[in-house]
A and B are shown apart, each in its own frame.
Chain A
Amino acid sequence: MSTPVLFDVPGPQARARQRIGAVIGSVVILALVAFVLYRLARNGQLEGQRWAVLFDPNTGVPQALGKALLRTLQVAAVGMVLATLLGLLLAVGRLSDHRWVRLPVSTFIEFFRAIPLLVVIFTLYFVLPSFGIELSAFAALTGGLVLYNSAVLAEIFRAGILSVDRGQREAAFGLGMRKSQVMTLVLLPQAVRRMLPVLIAQLVVLLKDSSLGFIIGYFELLRQARSLVEFFSLEYGNTYTFQLYVGAALLYIIVNVLLSQLAKYVERRTRTNKKAAATPVAELPADVQMGGGGGVASRETI
């Protein structure tokens, strides 16, 4: 994909005009940033000792945030592993030759892709207890993430399996392999390799979605920050509120950016890898990247 060039190479006049535009634009943005900083400073939010609370071990804040980060990663890690395994099973199930396997699996996938992730989590956390099944916040959050993401991952794996050249399958059958052997020895290894960048991108989405734990009271980063705020406000009022929130949010963003960079690195490696080089650059559709529940099934998948 190359961007069509929508403008000519600027001449001297146009260059001058653009320079003026750039200067004015920069000034406006700087003014906006300065305005925000001014308002923050006027409210005393930029004082060094207020931010020091984030780094001073004596307050217990860095430890608490560190533990919360661990808990976030814990949910994400468990969710990633389980969702990948379940997703693989579902993908294979959806490609099954038997209608009685294919139909329920397809229904499962379409159902969990069609409702918001938060509703799944709420169902596990609030509705199941009335049937006598009590789940902890951790279990409900992980369960929701696994159910929803396995459905999305199943579609990704299925696309990968279908993208493997038909000859591979036919040759494997020609060698006398059984269906399970064709799948596990020939199709899946190639499919997973091709889908690796998309897979990692989806796992980043899963990490992003673990922030939903905030809403059901799982002590991940955001909820921990909120509870710290409540704790501190008893003694100091709102002195540290803003700083704690910003600290927690920044931690989230940093972890996300790091994982996204990993995804980009893997994608570059896959693209230069000869075995997978034939793959067209797979990009995750925007609706999947948005998290919280993908789009409806496109017509090809129905």
Chain B
Amino acid sequence: MEFFIDNFDLLRDAFLTTLSLSLLSGLLALVLGTVLAGMRVSPITQLRGLATFYVEVFRNTPLTVVFFFIIFGLPQIDFAVDFFTGAVLSVGLYTAAFVCEAVRSGINAVSPGQAEAARAIGLTFGQSLREIVLPQAFRTVVPPLGNVWIAMVKNTSIAAGFSVTELSSTLPRLVNADAGDLTLILIGVVAGYMLITLPSAFAIHRLERRVAILR
């Protein structure tokens, strides 16, 4: 117990790092993923190809490898980033591919009549996407996007391997520091993740019920 209390500050800071890492990369992934989804349904072939390429590459690359490229690769083109920024970039860029797929499935779920009506009253592609299709698509993709968010929170743990002091990294760190009782620390780490994921899951269910469209 003493060991746990001694290291409580470390755990708290680690938790806050995990939280901010999740929020920042989540924001990046949401914005980039939505843009990519828009590109994948756009009239310009090159844009479609580019977005498809992006999604395929990132879905087939382990997140650890993405971290590798960002942390060790970027300095080779003179863009050194610090470890935290690197982690935000890696997790965000990786997750964007999955956000794109989720949003695209939502776009496909909007009934074709909506898009046709939008075209019929003379809206351009950008207008019908922004005003008609995406607002409806987002309502249907709340559950899959929520799952992506929760999986992403857990994926931030990989930053532990790249010198970011987030929740998981406290375990190997405290092993080296004169072994005390690690079990409580472990429970603390698991509880830290649950502190983010469980309220998220609850909020997602609430949101899903509120915005669901009856078809």
Contact = CB atoms under 8 A, between A and B. Distances in A.
A295 B146 contact: yes
Contact of B41 (A6, A115, A296): A6
B16 to A, nearest CB: 17
Interface in A110-137: 114-119, 122-123, 126-127, 130
B158 interface: yes
Given A10-B43, A123-B186, A249-B65, A118 B168 contact: yes
Contacts of B165: none
A: contact size bracket: 35 or more
B193 A119 contact: yes
A263 B154 CA distance: 25
A290 interface: yes
A292 B158 contact: yes
A43 B78 CA distance: 9
B158 A212 contact: yes
Contact of B73 (A246, A291, A293): A246
B189 interface: yes
Interface of B is mostly: helix
Interface in B80-120: 94-95, 98, 101-102, 105, 107-112, 114-116, 118-119
A292 B91 CA distance: 12
A280 interface: no
Interface in A5-47: 5-8, 10, 18, 21-22, 25-26, 29, 36, 39-40, 43, 45
A162 to B, nearest CB: 19
Given A21-B44, A249-B65, A40 B186 contact: no
B171 interface: yes
Contact of B112 (A2, A209, A248): A2
B214 interface: no
A291 B62 contact: yes
A104 B172 CA distance: 29
Nearest to B198: A296
Contact of B147 (A6, A285, A299): A285
Contacts, number: 210
A45 B45 CA distance: 33
Contact of B60 (A3, A216, A256): A256
Contacts of A122: 160, 168, 171-172
B178 to A, nearest CB: 12
Closest 10 CB pairs of A and B: A295-B147, A215-B161, A293-B154, A287-B147, A39-B77, A116-B154, A4-B115, A211-B62, A211-B64, A287-B151
Interface of B: 41-47, 50, 57, 59-65, 68-69, 72-73, 76-78, 94-95, 98, 101-102, 105, 107-112, 114-116, 118-119, 124-125, 128-129, 133, 143-144, 146-148, 150-152, 154-155, 157-158, 160-161, 167-168, 171-172, 175, 179, 181-183, 186, 189-190, 193-194, 197-198, 201, 205
Given A116-B168, A249-B65, 14 more contacts: A4-B116, A29-B50, A115-B194, A118-B157, A123-B171, A126-B182, A130-B182, A130-B183, A211-B62, A211-B65, A214-B64, A260-B60, A295-B151, A298-B147
